[in-house]
Chain A
Amino acid sequence: MAVSKGRWRKATAFAGHNGVLIAFVLLVAFMVGTTSTFGTYQNLINVLQQNSIIGIIACGMTFAIILGGFDLSVGSVTALASVVGATLMIDLGTIGIPIGILGALAACLIVGATNGWLIAWLGVNPFVATLGTMTVVRGLIYVATNASPRFGVPYTFTTVGLGRSFGVPNPALIFLIVALLLGFVLHRTRFGHYVYAVGGSPVASARMGLKVARVRFAVYVLASACAAVSGIILIGQTASATPQAALGYELTAIAAVIVGGAPLGGGRGRMAGTIVGVFLLGVVANGLNLFGVSPFWQPVATGLILIAAVAFDGFSKRGGFVSV
């Protein structure tokens, strides 16, 4: 009896800590069991292809959320990278590809540095600062393009967005590299450790001599850099750039990070959780599609999962409803 009780407690503790992972595994098992198409190579490739761009943005967002903030500008920054990069590649031709990539990165780093400066040194609330830059950047993109798409990127560049290596879509490989690299930085290096420390207690961190402002600045630059990578992949998927690209991606990325177990309060969260969060939302979208449900239902599902994950997490941690 005692043994089984101990086991039960261990099992519930495991479920409490890994609720999202269990939900994800059950979801995949359900999809494999109920559809013949989900488990096919082609469909799994589609899931990877469709979620890599959000996934890369979510990797950067994980840092911002653990820091105790978030970045609403990443959708606009993704579009900025794609428009700046595509414009340079179109105007300069094949030799413009490296210049386009560098130009896209540079433009995004300016936005990231602005976010970081506003938040770290001017003390502007992250919601306000990044809502502001999100709006300004999107507006500037419309002004510069007159809201019309840019076509004619050299076709060779579609290797980045549509090509495969070792049978895996290149965007998914880039996502894998970004996730491994940033997971290492977050969980193994001093900088990642400081992101947790500042997210947990900026005052205690500052008192122990941490350069809190520098950590915050670096995180917002990193979030923009991730968005830039996503924007460059976006060019490669269509050989063009649309000013309306990546609308709402910031919210999907935030949802994925939160579903993955990082609370908005900061100080907590893991890169692996974010990746599970990204694919949990992605597989649900894919499942709706396979079952022939209208794609208009997809945001409904995303929103419900977000609320359910956070409410369930709070409920299980408190052991009941809110009492105060």
Chain B
Amino acid sequence: MTDVGLGPDAILRAQGINKNFGAVVALENVSFAIPKGEIIGLVGDNGAGKSTLVKIISGVLAPDSGMIEFEGKPATFASPAEARAHGVETVYQDLALAPNLAVWANIYLGRELTRGPKIMHVLDKRAMVANADNMLRRFIRNVPPVEESVELLSGGQRQVVAIARAGAWGSKLILMDEPTAALGVAETKAVEEVIFELKRQGLTVLIISHNLDQIFRITSGVCVLRRGRPIGYRETAKTRPEEIVLMITGAPTIAGSG
């Protein structure tokens, strides 16, 4: 995958990423690039290294070796906060939101607006409630009431809020680790609409999914990992699910590779 050949307009490039957990090789010499403004799928069997790769990009894990470039500049993020500051945000399958807090509080979690003397950090709830509604409206058609507690929302609404939060904070690249794995059909569709909306507004999305139907519905390119190694990149329009399955499971020859 070193020869992915995605052209100069990649938002993120990784080169020769290695990561071991003790004796276990999680990623071996992984190089790839994410084209700007696209929805790219990252697929592979369990243990292929997808989540590890996403964690390295988002600053949760440090690679043992290798280089990451974000917007043309070297960027190996030391923490999720640093990644976020550069515009790389992650949305997880679960535990993305604090269920006991209201929607507005989750949108602003870790970025609260305060007023009055600096040392007291008194929350400016009114401003946050008003802004949160606008921030969600940018990506979601049916915005849930922002003063509602998150635990009263459905699983799909929660994920929609989590994704819209990632988009609203000026992120450029949003990493999603199985964002719809726990959702039903209608809820998955709602989440996918928000993902499309992110793309429409110029954001880039890297999505891990086990659901190949979904990958073919929403992505414009697919990266395949197997046992920590990059197997290949395909433009979604020029491949078929059968080929991706072969790449995931490890067929002796792969049609159209090269």
Contact = CB atoms under 8 A, between A and B. Distances in A.
Interface of A: 188-191, 193, 196-197, 199-201, 203-205, 207-210, 267-268
B121 interface: yes
A191 B121 contact: yes
Contacts of A191: 121
Tell me if B's interface is mostly helix, strand, loop or mixed: loop
A196 B123 contact: no
30 contacts: A189-B122, A189-B123, A190-B121, A190-B123, A193-B112, A196-B98, A196-B101, A197-B98, A197-B101, A199-B100, A200-B98, A201-B98, A201-B99, A203-B95, A204-B95, A204-B96, A204-B97, A204-B98, A204-B109, A205-B109, A207-B80, A207-B95, A207-B96, A208-B110, A209-B81, A209-B84, A209-B110, A210-B109, A267-B98, A268-B100
B216 interface: no
A33 to B, nearest CB: 39
B114 to A, nearest CB: 6
B12 interface: no
Interface of B: 80-81, 84, 90, 92, 95-101, 105-106, 109-112, 114, 120-123
A201 B110 contact: no
B109 A197 contact: yes
A197 B96 contact: no
A267 B109 contact: no
Given A190-B114, A200-B101, A267-B100, A209 B123 contact: no
Q: Which of B92, B98, B121 has the most CB of A within 10 A?
A: B98
Given A190-B114, A197-B98, A201-B99, A208 B109 contact: yes
A210 B99 contact: no
A210 B98 CA distance: 12
Q: Top 10 nearest A-B pairs by Cβ distance? A: A200-B100, A267-B100, A208-B110, A190-B121, A200-B98, A201-B98, A209-B110, A203-B95, A208-B109, A209-B81
